[in-house]
């Protein structure tokens, strides 16, 4: 799994003109799932996201996690994170998991993030044409790949 984690002061996702999810302070997480991802990958990634200390403390140091700032998560599925751009100008997406693999893992990630954060998270809709808006705070953007955790 690849996750692009953006610290935001606000973020939202709209589908066909209807607001699907929105948060204030927290993380907008773009999640790409590949065909080799497992439950172990999502459990590790969820704990890393929820525990990530990138919010400023009283001294202005990035030292606080989501719980300490009362932050939320907006999770968006994004298969394009697994784009291959090695040949030509048209990206290939063969490393992105097919829906029959990706949807259950995406739903498990929603449940895992909710459990680890201790409150419901906001989401987009798998496979939908989504319009995502955010105000990146910092900017702080971190990319994590579960294949590089060792």
Cite the active site residues.
78-80
Do residues 51 and 113 lie in contact, with contact meaning Cβ atoms separated by under 8 Å? no
Distance CA 106, CA 108 (A): 5
Distance CA 111, CA 3 (A): 16
Q: Helix 99-117 to helix 39-51 angle, to the nearest 10 degrees?
A: 40
DSSP 96: B
Q: How many CB atoms lie within 10 A of CB 19?
A: 10
Cα–Cα distances in angstroms (integers) from residue 115 to residues 23, 64, 109, 136, in the given order? 18, 19, 10, 25
């Amino acid at each position: 799994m690849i996750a692009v984690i953006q610290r935001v002061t606000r973020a939202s996702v709209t589908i066909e003109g209807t607001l699907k999810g929105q948060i204030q302070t927290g993380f907008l997480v773009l999640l790409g799932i590949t065909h080799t991802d497992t439950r172990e990958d999502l459990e590790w990634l969820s704990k890393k996201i929820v525990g990530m200390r990138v919010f400023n403390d009283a001294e202005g140091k990035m030292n606080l996690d989501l719980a300490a700032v009362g932050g939320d998560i907006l999770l968006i599925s994004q298969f394009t994170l697994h784009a291959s751009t090695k040949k030509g100008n048209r990206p290939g997406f063969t490393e992105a998991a097919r829906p029959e693999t990706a949807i259950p893992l995406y739903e498990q990630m929603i449940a895992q993030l909710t459990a680890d954060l201790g409150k419901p998270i906001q989401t987009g809709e798998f496979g939908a044409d989504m319009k995502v808006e955010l105000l990146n705070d910092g900017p702080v953007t971190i990319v994590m790949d579960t294949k590089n955790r060792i």
